[in-house]
Structure 1
Amino acid sequence: MVFPTIGKHQVESIKPIDILDLLRKLEDNNILETAHKVRGYIKSTFQYAVLTGRAESNPASELGGAMRTSKAKHLAALTTPKEVGALMLAIDYYSMSPAVTPVVVAALKCSAMWFCRQKEIRFLEWDQIHWDKAQIETIAAKTNASFIIPLSRQAIEVLKELHKVTSQGKYVFPSARGDSRPLSENGVNVAIRAMGFSKEQMCAHGFRSMGRTLLDEALNYPPHIIEQQLAHVVRDPLGRAYNRTQHLEQRREMMQHWADYLDKLKHEATQGNVISANFKQA
């Protein structure tokens, strides 16, 4: 669909409206996820064109807010800066409850900072954390491929505090019923509900959508870098899958920027007094 529509145009002649018209055809057929992926591919292509002097701007970068989004309940996510700031502030308030364990609080914070699959958090082991390299080396839950999570300063701080509590066992986030098993499959979801967010607003898997959306639309990171950090199979222009270490320094910079951005949104939420959640006992 892309090539027949704009493939024969000169790169510098393609305008945002040309790309939007193409994407609207996908949206009208109710294939919203494909529309967003196509926009990502076009955005990456134009980014390369800009870097190599073939274009002066990236018309696909301006379309994030113009596209329709899916409202699937099972993938509920908070994806606007204001919503995410409120969520991060809610986690801080939730952590003050005497009934809440440090494991659950750390899992919430790391879910936000790492936006990885919940299985990758729940089954994370201490020996997979490489403090000297400031990264986690683990296995992606869906693809079974090796996977690296660069650690921001904030993530390292959370892990060091948690190490004082759970380092006697192999799991970073152990179950409250014993450190020989991981955190419950619903542990983070239960905490999200306890903070007052409904299942239509946010779920544990929603941290992935949260990260993907704001890294693209607010922080303007290239889609292929984001997708690689999501542990998706990403291929180069020749169809070859990137390995786990490719773009690692770019991903490391992105993960630190993301953690800083979450702190910024939380601070803005504090200034705006946006928290009105009714915290429940977990």
Structure 2
Amino acid sequence: MYLLIDKNNNKFWRFDYYHPYTKKRNTISFGSYPEVSLADARSRRDDARSLLAQNIDPSESRKLETINQVNSLKNTFSAVSEEWMTKQNLAESTIAKNKKFFQVIVDNIGDKPINSITPMDILNVCRIYEREEKYETAKKIKVKCGQILRYGVAIGLCERDVTQDLRGALKTPVVNHMAAITSPKEFAVLLSDIDHYEGTIITKTALKIAPLVFVRPGELRHAKWSEIDFEKNIWSYTPPKTKSKTGVELIVPLSTQVVDLLKVLQPITCNSEYVFPAITSALKPMSKNTINQALRRLGYEKKQVSSHGFRASARTMLDEVIQFPVEIIEMQLGHQVRDMHGRAYNRTKHLKERKEMMQKWSDYCEEIKSGVK
């Protein structure tokens, strides 16, 4: 090791050595003097000699370390999460929810390289919501972090998903099922009340159709005229919930009651692609809160009934009262139903039986509603 002094009197520490394998002479710099003291230079020289003893070129080792540091800055948790998002085929509403979760995550650990994320880093973010007693949200934060880390493993940026080490570390959220009326007598009163709803024809029609088709609320409000076949009396669409996983189309047979309601509404909303467009713009579907707000205006509290609860109402009464086979009901609900061999049923199967079931369900709803005084 020596001190090189150039013509401008600048001083640089240099170390000459022979490459471990080629035995060619090479030189490495340890910085300038006095910024790097003699003691520091000697320490760096000793480190270089230690590498040479292991047949490692100190110059190449330094370059590799620089590359790793640059990659670490590029492969932050924030950058990898953005890349993961671009790879997903998600509905717009899901993307919006993900961005909300990721913003909190990014604010806390976004700048850290993904390969240096620890279980405690994730836990600290989750506990932001635990302290607010938002246990379900805390769980979702952990799940989202796990998805990003597993993607990082897949593309070689980290070794494992460290959220696996957090099992049992978070409080278990209490499961709250969607409020639903499953008593035929009470359900009949609800149907009668819906007939007397005083609001726009779009909202009233959606409110009357919702219990008869019992699809997910988001699927109903995104229904498009192009998806409805009035010749076959069916509504065919791909549920957003399963679009990215299976892409399987769901067929909803339409009873004569539902068809009649749609034909009355069609001249009113045919200028929009959506069957139930928003009041403010025909380019957007009805708000996700519209049906629930209509139920509140009818005097039903949140703990009594919700738009999603129509699914449980139909599921219960079709099974216990009308006594249709459970697998047919589940298939129409869009749930994954398996046969005796464990294979998933095609949702287009048993269409004849499902058409019969949907018509009988509408007839049953009309019958119990007519008995309400």
Using the size of structure 2 for normalisation, the TM-score is 0.51
Partner of 1:191: 294
- The CA distance in 2 between the partners of 1:133 and 1:194, in whole Å, is 35
Task: Map 1:175-254; keep pairs closer than 5 Å.
Answer: 175-254=278-357
Q: 1:121 aligns with which of 210, 216, 220?
A: 220
- The CA distance in 2 between the partners of 1:264 and 1:227, in whole Å, is 23
Partner of 1:135: 234
- Please tell me whether the aligned partners of residues 332 and 347 of structure 2 are also in contact (alpha carbons under 8 angstroms): no
After superposition, give the CA deviation of every residue in 1:14-62 in whole Å (9 maximum; x if it has no partner).
xxxxxxxxxxxxxxxxxxxxxxxxxxxxxxxxxxxxxxxxxxxxxxxxx
Q: Match for 2:319: what amino acid?
A: D
SS at match of 2:273: coil
After superposition, give the CA deviation of every residue in 1:198-257 in whole Å (9 maximum; x if it has no partner).
111001110000010000011001110000000011111111111122000000000000
Q: 2:273 aligns with which of 153, 167, 170?
A: 170
After superposition, give the CA deviation of every residue in 1:181-201 in whole Å (9 maximum; x if it has no partner).
000010100000000001110
> 5+ residue gaps in structure 1?
1-70, 274-282
CA distance change for structure 1 residues 72 and 86 in 2, over 3 Å: closer, same or farther?
farther
- The CA distance in 2 between the partners of 1:212 and 1:182, in whole Å, is 26
What's the % identity of the aligned pairs?
42
- The CA distance in 2 between the partners of 1:225 and 1:120, in whole Å, is 20
Partner of 1:50: none
Aligned residues: 196
- The CA distance in 1 between the partners of 2:254 and 2:308, in whole Å, is 20
SS at match of 1:75: coil
- The CA distance in 2 between the partners of 1:101 and 1:164, in whole Å, is 15
- The CA distance in 1 between the partners of 2:321 and 2:204, in whole Å, is 26
TM-aligned CA deviation for residue 135 of structure 1: 0.1
Task: Map 1:29-40; keep pairs closer than 5 Å.
Answer: none
> 5+ residue gaps in structure 2?
1-173
CA RMSD of aligned residues (A): 1.3
Once superposed, which parts of structure 1, at least 4 consecutive aligned residues long, lie more than 4 Å away? 71-74
The answer to whether structure 1 residue 148 and structure 2 residue 242 are counterparts is: no
- The CA distance in 2 between the partners of 1:267 and 1:118, in whole Å, is 26
TM-aligned CA deviation for residue 72 of structure 1: 6.6
SS at match of 1:142: helix
Q: Match for 1:126: what amino acid?
A: W
- The CA distance in 1 between the partners of 2:240 and 2:314, in whole Å, is 18
- Please tell me whether the aligned partners of residues 73 and 200 of structure 1 are also in contact (alpha carbons under 8 angstroms): no
- The CA distance in 2 between the partners of 1:226 and 1:257, in whole Å, is 12
- Please tell me whether the aligned partners of residues 174 and 182 of structure 1 are also in contact (alpha carbons under 8 angstroms): yes
Work out which structure has the larger RCO, using CA pairs closer than 8 Å and 6 or more positions apart in sequence. 1
- The CA distance in 2 between the partners of 1:76 and 1:171, in whole Å, is 27
- The CA distance in 2 between the partners of 1:72 and 1:222, in whole Å, is 27
